[in-house]
Structure 1
Amino acid sequence: MTKEWQQALVAKFPYQFPKGGFYFAIGDGWADLLAEMCRRVDVVLEEEWKDGESFRWTDIKEKFGSLRASNTGPEDVERIVEWAEEVSLRTCDICGQDGRIRRGGWVSVRCDNHEEVSR
């Protein structure tokens, strides 16, 4: 089921997402980070990239505790993605508070309050 923050993000930046739906494979704690990443992308992209075909996210997921955001954009976007990936390594993927990499079955970023929450 699509969550409200996901629907709001797609509605705010429709050209960034494929038509027909998009699956976000990340925790709710990264919702604000993802919104900021999309906002920054919107600022740096020239208008010709905003036609709904030229730029789009192809995959947004968590892998080994870090955000991964694949896209069809220019180099400017890659710098933003690198920034977001770095921030994700210290942001709890459940609540968005300061966190750190936790290992134990799955590798994830969790705050002290969510350290024991399994995936």
Structure 2
Amino acid sequence: MVAYFAQHGGEHHALYDAPPTRITSSLDTHLARPMMKKELEATILAACPTLYRHDRPRFRDLRFECGDGWYELVLAISRLLEAEAQRLQQLQQLRPRKRIRVGVVKEELGRLVFGYEGHVTDEAYTAIEALEVRSTLACDLCGRPGERRGGSWLTVRCDAHVEHERRTLL
């Protein structure tokens, strides 16, 4: 799912297009899409109760469709959105029914995509965008410095994981 952002009154909000499809081909089966460990997911959910209060997993019980290496980035974005959600909650008397909803959090084309809808300040929007861009430089499996790699399936991997995958395929 691709998020398109629009600005209204000094605040940004995201609008979504069609949901994503999973890419699975015989060439890509060795690169199974990593999913975040449940313990790390639980830590993020506990740290951001306002944001994830009404959240429902998109697929079965998968909330964060990325590897453990991006845990810190997902947590940082979640904390930014938690602060924005609490800000909106305080304004609830002025603007009822306004809240931030998390849509999809996943890896797409070697980049963290954090889809959400709701109004956020310019500062929060800029910080979220910077954290998403930072994901293109961190291995999605371990968080060490990495780079985008791959042919039909882009991922961000460090040299150690590239070497491990190469040896696994031989």
Question: Per the shorter chain, which TM-score range?
Answer: 0.7 to 0.9
The structure with the largest helix share of the pair is: 1
Residue 115 of structure 1 aligns to a residue in which SS? Answer: helix
Q: What do residues 24-57 of structure 1 show as CA deviations (whole Å, max 9, x unaligned)?
A: 1111100011111222333455522477960121
Between the aligned residues of both structures, percent identity stands at: 30
Listed as ranges, the gaps of 5+ residues in structure 1 are: none
Pick the structure with greater CA Rg.
2
* Amino acid corresponding to residue 99 of structure 2 in structure 1: S
Aligned residues: 118
The question of whether the paired residues in 2 share the 8 Å contact of 1:67 and 1:85 is answered with yes
Superposition RMSD on alpha carbons, in Å? 2.7
Deviation at 1:81, TM superposition (A): 2.4
Q: Distance in 2 between matches of 1:53 and 1:111?
A: 40
Alpha carbons 1:49, 1:55 under 8 Å: kept: no
CA contact (8 A) 1:28 1:94 kept: yes
What's 1:35 paired with?
A: 75
**Cα deviation code 1:51-78 (max 9, x no counterpart):** 7960121110110000101111324343
Quote the residue 1:15 is aligned against. Answer: 50
Structure 1 residue 104 corresponds to structure 2 residue 151: yes
Matched, 1:84 2:131: yes
Q: Distance in 2 between matches of 1:65 and 1:6?
A: 20
- One of 49, 66, 72 as aligned partner of 1:26: 66
Q: Report if aligned partners of 2:69, 2:142 keep a CA contact under 8 Å in 1.
A: yes
TM-score, normalised with respect to structure 2? 0.59
Q: Which runs of 5+ in 2 are unaligned?
A: 1-34, 58-62
Structure ranking higher in strand proportion: 2
